[in-house]
Structure 1
Amino acid sequence: MNRFNSVFRAGLFDGQVVVVTGGGSGIGRCTAHELASLGASLALVGRKLEKLEKVRDEIAQTCPVKVSLHTCDIREEEQVKTTVAGILAEHGKIDHLINNAGGQFPSPLNMISGKGWETVVRNNLTGGFFMAREVFNQHMMLHLGQKDMSISNIIADMWNGMSGMGHSGAARAGMLNFSETASNEWAPVRVNAVAPGFIASSGMDTYPEPMKLTIMELDKTIPLQRLGLEAEVSSVLTFLASPAASFISGSCIRVDGAAPNARRIWQVGTGKANPAFNSFHLGGVPEVIQRRDAQRNKGG
């Protein structure tokens, strides 16, 4: 049976407990599979139990590790406190937190309502802060210096602004600054950020048609001439939780194919993409990307 083809050694996370928020889909699902393949016990957090159950059942087919499920709206402070307490009751400890949950919707700034702004900021900044604070306060603070512990916060390619998703860009920028501050205040717990660029994940299929048309042309704006894969973000998150990153804290790793470095005065890329490494055995291609490829093949 196929399983996750991680570049990291087997058993790397044996005996460790990793919390993955947004673990029911996309990057969170992929990261859960990779960590499980390396021996980690998992606490998957999300709003929809059925999604978490599906990921747990997928993992059970290849990895004999403990996976607990925790439904939680990370925007709600009391729910987060209860969820972290429940994880500790189930596992006894938390070694690493992958703060992945979030979400947004496309809109120009002047069309974003107060409610829409607050919802996205709570999704991508406040909720991540609640999760990190509670994991630190309820467990990590009590074990400082006894073991290597880490928090990795997913942000986004929001450099130079995030036109069309200004609410998300503002929140993600805030999460980067939070990560930098926490890396000092909470040391020796290591706190880092990971900034994915345009990643081909199932979330792309949830956007309205005008946004999908934009997505279908995104690869042409990226110097590496392709979209990233969920597994290419997962591997960075896995690295940051590993002993190889034991002196990395307060940093942000971009996983974006150099998209922010593209310049209008210079041709973007050479028209050829670099090879992708798809280590995720269940990794699929979003429908919108399949449609793009079909149209290009027909046109060529």
Structure 2
Amino acid sequence: MSYASVFAPGLFAGKVVVVTGGGSGIGRCVAHELSALGATLALVGRKLEKLQAVQAELAEDGGSATIHICDIRQEDTVKQTVVDILAQHGRIDGLVNNAGGQYMTPLEAISAKGWEAVVHSNLTGGFLMSRECYTQTMAKHGGAIVNIVADMWGSMPGMGHSGAARAGMVSFTETAAVEWANRGVRVNAVAPGYIASSGMDHYPAEMAPMVREMAKTVPLGRFGTEAETAAGIVFLLSPAASFISGSTLRIDGARPQARLGYPMRVADEKAQARDGIKPFNGFHRAKLPKVFTV
């Protein structure tokens, strides 16, 4: 089997794309789709074994990737990582700032250290990677950057540190789009909503019932797939988005538009499937998170 992308074969032939957090979840999925479309990947992350596993998958599928161990929160490490990528590939055409993370806790229980850790992971790290890719290579020949944020419109109860960081990344995206446009660099963001991703396998067991109920708050009546998210990222990297910059593409099934007092008419996923309306899932190696199989 191979990745069933909706995009034209060879679309990214000869292009080099950096994917942070490329060892799992959405990062792994988008790396597979870009590779299937001809891109050479530079996978960035903190855990060697995860990156090696994805590198091996890509090789089995006929693709190519280098791996780069990097804590994106460390400025000097980020600078050297981009130097190393350029030494191996000569240029960087695209950057997907996917790395990040958070934990659930109420605002009053978040320590300064915990707040800083989440902000550094979800905001500062993306800024550092973007800045270095821009200054070291994209300022010379252009490029495209896609920042992965989150469904933080309205609020993120229990994840206030992450919501603040993601909102900051949206603002950074809009500013970078203006400042770097004259060098042919486009900067956009993708905001995934409730996505059935491998990251859910790390949630505490007691969260499982709540997670399974979350689809009832989504007007489309289901979780999104990693492939549906990857398709949005690939589109924004592609020539089809050559006049799109400073935008945030939400991939969330209209969840932020649900309003108290308005009767929720959630789509019936089983009925849609009978009518041939199914989630897009072109990722041939995708696995359903464990929370949906118990």
Query: Which of the five TM-score ranges fits, normalised by the shorter chain?
Result: over 0.9
Deviation at 1:61, TM superposition (A): 1.1
Deviation digits for residues 7-58 of structure 1 (CA, Å, limit 9, x no counterpart): 0011000000000000000000000000000000000000001100100111
- Report matched runs for 1:74-153 at 5 Å: 74-144=72-142, 149-153=143-147
What is the alpha-carbon distance in structure 2 between the residues aligned to residue 143 and residue 18 of structure 1?
14
The residue number in structure 1 matching 2:275 is none
Deviation at 1:271, TM superposition (A): 4.4
User: Could you say what secondary structure the match of 2:58 adopts?
Assistant: helix
What is the alpha-carbon distance in structure 1 between the residues aligned to residue 13 and residue 215 of structure 2?
38
What is the alpha-carbon distance in structure 2 between the residues aligned to residue 112 and residue 227 of structure 1?
28
From 167, 174, 198, the equivalent of 1:180 is 174
Q: What runs of 5+ residues in structure 1 fail to find an aligned partner?
A: 292-300
Q: TM-score, normalised by structure 1?
A: 0.93
Deviation digits for residues 218-240 of structure 1 (CA, Å, limit 9, x no counterpart): 10010000001000010011101
User: Could you say what secondary structure the match of 1:81 adopts?
Assistant: helix
What is the alpha-carbon distance in structure 1 between the residues aligned to residue 103 and residue 131 of structure 2?
26
Q: Which stretch of the first structure deviates more once superposed, 270-279 or 216-225?
A: 270-279
User: Could you say what secondary structure the match of 1:169 adopts?
Assistant: helix
Q: Give yes or no for contact 2:19–2:95 (8 Å, CA) kept in 1.
A: yes
Deviation at 1:161, TM superposition (A): 1.1
- Compared CA separation, residues 271 and 191, structure 1 to 2 (3 A): closer
Deviation digits for residues 245-288 of structure 1 (CA, Å, limit 9, x no counterpart): 00000000000000001112223234413520110001110001
Q: Share of identical aligned residues, percent?
A: 59
Q: Give yes or no for contact 1:106–1:211 (8 Å, CA) kept in 2.
A: no
Q: Name the Cα RMSD after superposition.
A: 1.0
Read off the aligned partner of 1:289 and give its amino acid letter: F
The residue number in structure 2 matching 1:164 is 158
From 210, 214, 218, the equivalent of 2:214 is 218
From 201, 204, 221, the equivalent of 1:205 is 201
Deviation at 1:143, TM superposition (A): 2.2
Deviation at 1:72, TM superposition (A): 0.3
From 283, 287, 292, the equivalent of 2:290 is 287
What is the alpha-carbon distance in structure 1 between the residues aligned to residue 228 and residue 78 of structure 2?
28
1:278 aligns with 2:281: yes
What is the alpha-carbon distance in structure 1 between the residues aligned to residue 257 and residue 216 of structure 2?
13
The residue number in structure 1 matching 2:29 is 30
The residue number in structure 2 matching 1:154 is 148
Deviation at 1:199, TM superposition (A): 0.5
The residue number in structure 2 matching 1:227 is 223
Read off the aligned partner of 2:102 and give its amino acid letter: Q
Deviation at 1:106, TM superposition (A): 0.5
Q: Give yes or no for contact 2:216–2:266 (8 Å, CA) kept in 1.
A: no
What is the alpha-carbon distance in structure 2 between the residues aligned to residue 237 and residue 119 of structure 1?
26
What is the alpha-carbon distance in structure 2 between the residues aligned to residue 179 and residue 50 of structure 1?
31
1:266 aligns with 2:262: yes
The residue number in structure 1 matching 2:70 is 72
The residue number in structure 2 matching 1:54 is 53
What is the alpha-carbon distance in structure 2 between the residues aligned to residue 111 and residue 208 of structure 1?
18
Read off the aligned partner of 2:222 and give its amino acid letter: R
